[in-house]
């Protein structure tokens, strides 16, 4: 554009010199034409600015993180003159558009339209503006540049991936933990308060001697099995002080690992209790595919707005249930002293714990706390916030990806 302006000023100076030297109607006609040319050019640009039309099309406003979504943009020229030197500018902070045919500048003939096909990708979960952000237009002399921001922008809702957990079997870990716990605590049965007549095959230990003396016949108590404690997943929605891109990657990984854990338990027909805290403490019991789908739908909009530690969630759970947790799974990006002491306490009380910790792996204090918990018996997975979970735990591709 600077070269075009330079050429115009040279042309203007030459026309002035021509008028000064020659005079007459033709030199003045050339001079006024050159003088008014930028005004006509700018007027053309404003006319295009007001008249052109843009339409953007996608198959669905919902998509999955890093999964390509077919995208089409149409720019229409409804006038009787050509639109020249137009350039679309796309959102590129959290979403990206790749066109099948790359073209920086384009022209649109009168009464026609330009179709641009491609794919839209979202880098992170959440709700974002996507597609064309603005249209840059230049006049036919390349003297002026006008940027037209689209008033009606395309918005998409990006759901997290559902990664596979092929390299970690939490079901097997829970069953082994329960087996060891039963060995340590003995039988997992209690007597039913109801009594009945003695039947052949009943154990002598089941005989209720007082009731037998009153009835003058043998009466027994039935043994019932104590309900097995369900696995409890604690999800840390704590606000983090990590910088922009690292913070978003951390939040995405926390949600994705939670989805993967819940799905692995449901695939094994094992319900799981999900505990989290934003404005208040919440418990969500996920038992079947329908409840998982509700959790997955909501996961795109889950906000990290909690300012208390995950150890407080554990405390709330014990206060509301008044019973021990057999198997506890935690997902967090914060490793405080309070959390370390809390987990150490519950491990000593017989609780089996798996910790997915998303740390920077550069903080010496965090490293020492994770090492301490491993020594205490906590199964720890120390993961960098920007690592790809599918590569670490899965098969290399998630559901929805090709």
Give the mean pLDDT of 97-116.
86
162 CB neighbour count, 10 Å cutoff: 19
Does one domain contain both 310 and 211? no
Beta carbons of 47 and 142 less than 8 angstroms apart: no
Whether residue 100 has pLDDT greater than 70? yes
Give the mean pLDDT of 217-231.
64
- Domain residues for the domain of 235 are 170-180+228-393
Judge whether 263 lies within some domain: yes
Point out the least confidently predicted range of 95-109, 123-137, 146-160. Answer: 95-109
Judge whether 388 lies within some domain: yes
Helix and strand tally (H, E) in the chain? 10, 19
Edge-to-edge strands, sheet with 95-99: 53-58, 69-77, 112-122, 95-99
Whether residue 331 has pLDDT greater than 60? yes
Give the mean pLDDT of 353-371.
85
Judge whether 46 lies within some domain: yes
- Which helix (H) or strand (E) element contains residue 381? strand 379-383
Does one domain contain both 176 and 213? no
Does one domain contain both 233 and 217? no
Does one domain contain both 203 and 146? no
Judge whether 148 lies within some domain: yes
| Sole residue written with tokens 């990590």 | 242
129 CB neighbour count, 10 Å cutoff: 15
Whether residue 395 has pLDDT greater than 90? no
What is the SS3 assignment for 135-183? EEEECCCCCCEEEEECCCCEEEEEECCECCCCCCCHHHHHHHHHHHHHH
* pLDDT value of residue 187: 47
Does one domain contain both 299 and 249? yes
Between 184 and 26, the more confident residue is 26
Residue 380 CB partners (closer than 8 Å, separation 6+): 354, 355, 357, 370, 373, 374
Give the mean pLDDT of 100-115.
84
Q: What is the CATH number of the domain that holds 55?
A: 2.60.40.10
Does one domain contain both 136 and 80? yes
Q: Output DSSP code: residue 252.
A: H
For residue 181, name the pLDDT band (cuts at 50, 70, 90): low
Q: Rounded to whole angstroms, how far apart are CA atoms 296 and 262?
A: 10
Does one domain contain both 128 and 66? yes
What total of structural domains would you count in the chain?
A: 3
Does one domain contain both 175 and 300? yes
Query: Which tens digits make up the pLDDT trace of 273-295?
Result: 999 988 888 899 999 999 999 99
φ/ψ (deg, to 5) at 340: -60, -45
Q: If you compute the radius of gyration of the chain from its CA atoms, what whole number of angstroms results?
A: 34
* pLDDT value of residue 401: 47
For residue 43, name the pLDDT band (cuts at 50, 70, 90): confident
Q: What is the CATH number of the domain that holds 359?
A: 3.40.50.410
pTM metric for this prediction: 0.75
* pLDDT value of residue 225: 47
Does one domain contain both 121 and 236? no
Judge whether 401 lies within some domain: no
Judge whether 302 lies within some domain: yes
Does one domain contain both 296 and 362? yes
Does one domain contain both 193 and 310? no
Beta carbons of 8 and 144 less than 8 angstroms apart: no
Judge whether 20 lies within some domain: no
CA-wise closest residue to 130 among 76, 75, 56, 67? 56
* pLDDT value of residue 189: 46
Between 82 and 243, the more confident residue is 82
* pLDDT value of residue 278: 83
φ/ψ (deg, to 5) at 72: -140, 135
Judge whether 164 lies within some domain: no
Query: Which tens digits make up the pLDDT trace of 48-98?
Result: 888 888 999 999 999 999 999 999 999 998 888 888 888 899 998 889 999
Does one domain contain both 349 and 232? yes
Whether residue 229 has pLDDT greater than 60? no
* pLDDT value of residue 293: 94
For residue 147, name the pLDDT band (cuts at 50, 70, 90): confident
Q: What is the dihedral of CA 340, 346, 351, 354, to 10 degrees?
A: -10
For residue 191, name the pLDDT band (cuts at 50, 70, 90): very low
Whether residue 180 has pLDDT greater than 80? no
For residue 223, name the pLDDT band (cuts at 50, 70, 90): low
Q: Rounded to whole angstroms, how far apart are CA atoms 160 and 253?
A: 9
Q: What is the mean pLDDT of the chain?
A: 83
């Amino acid at each position: 554009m600077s070269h075009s302006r330079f050429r115009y000023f040279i042309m203007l100076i030459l026309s002035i010199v021509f008028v000064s030297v020659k005079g007459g109607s033709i030199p003045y006609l050339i001079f006024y034409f050159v003088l008014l040319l930028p005004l006509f050019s700018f007027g053309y640009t404003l006319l295009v600015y007001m008249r052109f039309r843009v339409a953007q099309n996608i198959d669905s406003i919902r998509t999955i993180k890093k999964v390509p979504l077919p995208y089409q943009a149409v720019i229409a020229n409804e006038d009787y003159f050509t639109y020249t030197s137009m350039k679309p500018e796309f959102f590129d902070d959290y979403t990206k558009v790749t066109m099948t045919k790359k073209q920086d500048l384009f022209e649109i003939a009168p009464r026609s339209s330009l179709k641009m096909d491609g794919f839209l990708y979202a880098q992170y979960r959440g709700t974002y503006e996507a597609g064309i952000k603005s249209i840059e237009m230049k006049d036919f002399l390349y003297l002026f540049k006008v940027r037209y921001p689209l008033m009606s922008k395309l918005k998409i809702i990006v759901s997290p991936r559902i990664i596979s957990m092929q390299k970690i079997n939490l079901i097997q870990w829970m069953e082994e933990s329960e087996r060891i716990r039963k060995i340590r605590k003995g039988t997992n049965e209690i007597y039913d308060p109801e009594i009945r007549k003695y039947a052949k095959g009943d154990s002598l230990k089941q005989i209720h001697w007082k009731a037998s003396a009153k009835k003058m016949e043998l009466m027994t108590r039935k043994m019932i099995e104590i309900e097995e404690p369900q696995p409890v997943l604690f999800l840390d929605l704590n606000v983090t002080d990590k910088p922009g891109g690292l913070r978003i990657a951390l939040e995405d990984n926390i949600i994705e690992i939670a989805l993967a854990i819940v799905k692995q338990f449901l695939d094994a027909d094992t319900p799981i209790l999900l505990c989290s805290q934003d404005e208040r403490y919440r418990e969500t019991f996920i038992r079947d595919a329908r409840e998982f789908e509700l959790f997955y739908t909501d996961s795109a909009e889950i906000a990290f707005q909690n300012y208390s530690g995950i150890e407080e969630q554990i405390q709330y759970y014990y206060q509301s249930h008044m019973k021990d947790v057999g198997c506890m799974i935690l997902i967090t990006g914060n490793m405080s002293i309070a959390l370390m002491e809390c987990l150490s306490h519950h491990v000593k009380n017989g609780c089996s714990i798996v910790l997915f910790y998303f740390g920077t792996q550069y903080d010496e204090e965090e490293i020492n706390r994770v090492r301490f918990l491993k020594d205490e018996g906590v199964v720890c997975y120390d993961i960098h916030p920007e690592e790809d979970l599918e590569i670490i735990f899965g098969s290399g591709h998630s559901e929805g990806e090709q």
